[in-house]
Amino acid sequence: MHVVVLGGGLAGLAASYELAKGGVQVTLVEREPRIGGMAHSMQVGPFTLDHGPHRFHTRDQRLWDHLDEVVGAENLGVRDRLSRIYLRGRFFNYPLVAKNVLRNLPLHLLAKAFADYLAIRIRNQLRPIPDDCFENWVTKRFGRTLYRMFFGTYTEKTWGMSCKVISADWASQRITLLNLWDTVKKTLLRPKDAPRTLVSEFKYPKTGGVGRIAESYHAHLERMGVRILLGTSLETVSHREGRATAVSVRREGGEAETIRPDVVVSTIPINRLLERLDPAPPEEVAAAMGRLRHVAIVFVYLEVAKPQVSPDHWVYLPEKHLTIHRISEFKNFSEHCAPPDRTAICAEITCPYDGEIWNLDLARGGAIAIRDLETVGLIRPGEAKPLHLTKLRYAYPIYDLTYRENLRRGLDYLKAFQNLDTTGRQGLFRYNNMDHSIAMGRKIARSLLAGESMDHERIAAGHEYFG
């Protein structure tokens, strides 16, 4: 059996690895000149930079064992997560911790928050509020005061759209606690079955940034004889009578090639895959794929002339007078990511593709990031300078109110193919974590090896916290 895997992110790498271990001939096609996708790391001078914060955590011991097998347990460090929200001049733990909120919020806001919560609970008993959008889902569980402070403002800033037109799916995957009272109980009592929200320990490579995971896969794949085509774009996937018959690709520089595999596994954006099908899908399917959208991110990296900006792995900045929405400090993931006397900050700015923010250069992006961090007091004037800038077009899938129906049209169409499937974060248009992507890739590979479906689509499909 010969399998072509489209996309060299974590899902594609994990699928290729498991297939090659099973004795399958694999060709891996990646558009970029390097492996890893969003989990790629860059070396800029003495600094190791990721595309924002990445952490590996799972409840599945098999995935821990797999990570140790690929990277080597001795190459992985264990960290205790610290992420906070900087709001009104104070740091709030995120996920929310009741004691921290009680300590930081002024008394009048605390009273208003609990009054709002009781009022919404009574209203919901009399006239149930539907979970038909992000705003209703959160307001009904936490009250309007906490919704506005901690959830609504940041979400609208990040997505650039009203929470009334964002699916409740986004809330269920970002906020696993049931409601305000549940938050109080679980943060005070810390039950043994604490949800993923409250699990803080994670693994991260000691050297090389998160990209060390992808690089380790790459080294294994080369030893196992996998053909890896970097800097190679997908032109078309030809099909006939429910089977993919050929994959046409083009190397950077113009060299074209046609591959005739037995099976195609795609981890590229599902709408891009369907655009490349020849013959094209029905008009209604193509139209549905055209309605699937992504938020892009511009990553601005700053070199800061001090050992540490904050102890956090990442900090959310929800206030709308600030342009950046989150910062991360890689030295807090591993001390090897920066020299002892300096640190690097990654400032993220979400935006539509090809708009004003998307087209920022390093000088202008650096000026925005420096201004915002000086405004909130995390750095002082003269401490930081622009270091690097990079961009991701397909960063967050947009969970608008119609995304589920549109996505289902594409997935249902692909189900008719006997030897073409789509998986991973991009392939399933799903906001998920690193462990989910790796699990998806491994499961689709095991399905092919076993000759039976293991339903990789169910991974990260439930109401589970993914932050």
**DSSP letters spanning 91-128:** EEESS--HHHHHHHS-HHHHHHHHHHHHHHHHHHHHSP
Q: Mean pLDDT across the stretch 410-418?
A: 97
In degrees and rounded to multiples of 5, residue 193 shows phi and psi of -95, 40
CB-based contact 343:334 (threshold 8 Å): no
Q: What percent of the chain has pLDDT over 70?
A: 92
For the chain, give the mean pLDDT: 92
Per-residue tokens: 168 = 């409740």
306 C-beta neighbours (distance < 10 Å), count: 12
Query: Which residues lie across from 388 on neighbouring strands?
Result: 301
Q: Mean pLDDT across the stretch 323-351?
A: 98
Q: What share of the chain is helix, strand, coil (3-state, %, to 5)?
A: 40, 25, 35
pLDDT digits (tens, 9 = 90+) for 147-172: 999 899 999 999 999 999 999 998 87
CA separation for the pair 371, 467 (Å, rounded): 27
CB-based contact 216:69 (threshold 8 Å): no
CA separation for the pair 326, 314 (Å, rounded): 7
Residue 117 scores a pLDDT above 60 = yes
Listed by start position, the domains of the chain span 2-39+60-75+208-292+400-458, 94-197, 294-397
Residue 340 scores a pLDDT above 50 = yes
Residue 454 scores a pLDDT above 90 = no
The CATH code of domain 294-397 reads 3.90.660.20
Name the band, by pLDDT with cuts 50, 70 and 90, for residue 185.
low
Q: What percent of the chain has pLDDT over 90?
A: 83
CB-based contact 6:277 (threshold 8 Å): no
Asked if the domains 2-39+60-75+208-292+400-458 and 294-397 are classified in one and the same CATH topology, the answer is no
Residue 196 scores a pLDDT above 50 = no
pLDDT in the model for residue 195: 47
Residue 64 scores a pLDDT above 60 = yes
CA separation for the pair 111, 106 (Å, rounded): 9
* Homologous superfamily of the 2-39+60-75+208-292+400-458 domain (CATH): FAD/NAD(P)-binding domain (3.50.50.60)
pLDDT digits (tens, 9 = 90+) for 243-267: 999 999 999 888 899 999 999 999 9
pLDDT digits (tens, 9 = 90+) for 366-391: 999 999 999 999 999 999 999 999 99
Residue 198 scores a pLDDT above 70 = no
Residue 192 scores a pLDDT above 80 = no
Residue 112 scores a pLDDT above 70 = yes
Give the dihedral sign, CA 370/372/378/382: positive
